[in-house]
Structure formats: structure tokens, C-alpha cells
Structure 1
Amino acid sequence: TGDWIEKVPALIQAWYPGQEGGTAIAEVLFGEYNPAGRLPFTWPRHVGQLPLYYNYKPTGRLYDYVDLPATPLFPFGYGLSYTRFEYSDLSVEKTEDSVEASFTVENVGGREGDEVVQLYVRKPVSRIARPVKELKRFKRIRLKPGEKKRISLTIDLEDLAFLDQELKRVVEPGVYEIYIGASSEDIRLRGSFKVD
């Protein structure tokens, strides 16, 4: 993408928009529609970040180039809007077979818009290399300016299962971290729960 990408305020990736694609893109460009699409992958900043690894043990060792940032150009789940959203008041409650994360989202901008709230889970200590963050739930919500909504996202404990060294599905006991945000890098709220 080169240096130019850092100098533009927005970028539209339209993929294959179909016969009405021109109309849809024009509505976004002229502000008639507030976009809420999110990236389904991470867009690297430079070729030195390829291939992308999601499963690795965090060791504290840096994988940086001295002259380039280590962050992606656009992280998984990234997207823009003509309005702004604030997240607050996270509550995490675990039952016998599920975990519920509840939080408030408020449209603090001047336009109606959609937000795609995303819930990620991380197991900081595990027997095998696990993803640093895993998207477990997401929800698209529409809010008018100044409107608040209480959102609840539920994860079944079975959703935490993975294949161990013997290729058996297991839910590993221990502490799990929950991240709520607008993308994998734009984390607004953090919590945790314990599996016995």
C-alpha cells in the first residue's frame, strides 16, 4: 500500500459490489449511508509482517523491525463510521455452562449509525500455543445520536474448547480474559472469568 495510505482520511474496499455497487459507494461517499462493514482479516503494514501468525506463545520477545511499526495497517474487525461510539460498564457473569458479558454502548456522535461490537477471549496460560485473541461473539447494533443500549453477549463454555496434544476437545481450566471492542486492536473494555 505504500506511504500514501497514511495520508488519506478514509479508504473504501468495495470487493465485488454487484450491479448497484456504484450507487452504494456513492451513498457512502456523500454521507447518505453510514458504513458499518468490518474487515474479515488483518491487513499487514509491510511485507515483513507476512505470514501472519495468530497462534503463538507470548514470550515478551519483540518481533519488530527497528524502522517499522509492529502494528497492522488495519486490524481484524476494523471499520470506519461517520459517528463515534463509547463503551462502558462491563459486567462478566459465569454460570455452570456459560459466560455472559454485558456492557453499555452509546452513540456520542451527531449521526445515527451502526456499531459492530466484538467480544474476544484470551487464555493467557495454556498447555499449547493458542491464539492471542479469538473472536467469540459479535453483534451489529443501530443507535441514534445520544442513544445508549445495554448489550449482552453469551459464550457457552464449550466455545472455549480446543484440540489438545492428543486431538481431544478440552476446555482448559484457569483464568480467561474477555476483551470488548470495535476491532481486535481497538479494545474498549476488559474483564476476566475463571473455569474450574
Structure 2
Amino acid sequence: MDNMSESEFAQSIVERIIAGDAKAEKEMVKRYQRGLMFMLRKRSGDEHLAADVSQDTWRLVIEKVRQGQLKDPKKLSAFIVQIGKNQLIMHYRRPEAKKTDSLDETQTRAMEATEQPEKVLENHNLALMVRSVIGELNTPRDRELIFRFFIDEQEKHVICHELDLDKVHFDRVLYRAKQRFKQLWDSQFN
């Protein structure tokens, strides 16, 4: 299953779940749990709430997939994310949630955003791939520079000061690190 495309994996897992394969349900949860939790934590800002909503989401997803309610199995990840979003919205609409939980404006906007569910999981998976490739760079300084500059978005002058580099040398080192990253990326994903 590791060398299947995402849509092939989704198609296969849905077919197996409909056929009654309980192992396929566990595989689906294992495959998509991280992306679902990422989205729920981002939207709610609450780890415990995200975990609760995740449980409700999986219960519904499994039930709907078993009943054949997913029209296009290739869109399984979008289906999962959309149910997760809906469950989170329903949580905040409950009267008891209004008493104990308050959404700030940023969280409200995030919940109402029209971003595609596929994009949430796609971006999450891409970030995991990038972090993995960064971790495989041979030179510790390459890893540190790329991570600090591109992932943590630290200012150039801060990194230069802490690593005792002048700005011209920083540019050269970063350029070489990016080239090595690109070569490693291309060897793994192209």
C-alpha cells in the first residue's frame, strides 16, 4: 500500500471498509488521524477539544463509509476533513459550549474559511515531507539554516549574529544549503 497514490489508497480502503474489513478502518484512521488532528487543533486552538472532536469525527466517518455514503472514494481525505469541520462547528453551536468556550475572531474566521479540505491535508503532508528532507541533510549547519530561515522564519540578521556569519557569507551558505536540499528532494520525490 505504500507505493499507491493517495487516490488509489483511498479507493482501496473504502472498498475494504464497505466489504466489512475492520483492519481497513484502523488503517484509515492511522493514515488520516495526523492530518485531521492538525486541522482541528489549528481551528480550535485546544488540544483536548480537538481530540474529542476527532473521536466524534471518526465515529461518523466509519459509519458513513460503511453505509456507502461516500460518493467518490478518491476524495476520502476531503470527506474526513469536512466531517471534522462540521463536528467542530456543531460543538460550538451547543448551548453548553457557549457557556464554557469562547471563540476569538481569528478562530471564527478560520472555521468559516473556504479553504479546500484536500488542501489542509495536502499542506500538512507537504510540511512533513519538507521537514523529513531537512532532517536528512548531511551538514548540521545546512539543517539549522534552512529550518531557522524558511520554517521558523527567523530574521536574517538574527541568524547571522547567532551563527557569527556576515550577510554575504550567510547568502553563500544558504544558497549551497538550498542546492543540497533541492538535490535531496529531487532524488526522493521526482
Report TM bin, short chain: under 0.3
Q: Normalised by the size of structure 2, how large is the TM-score?
A: 0.25
Which is richer in strand? 1
Larger radius of gyration: 2
Q: Which has the higher helix share?
A: 2
The alignment's TM-score, normalised by the length of structure 1, stands at 0.25
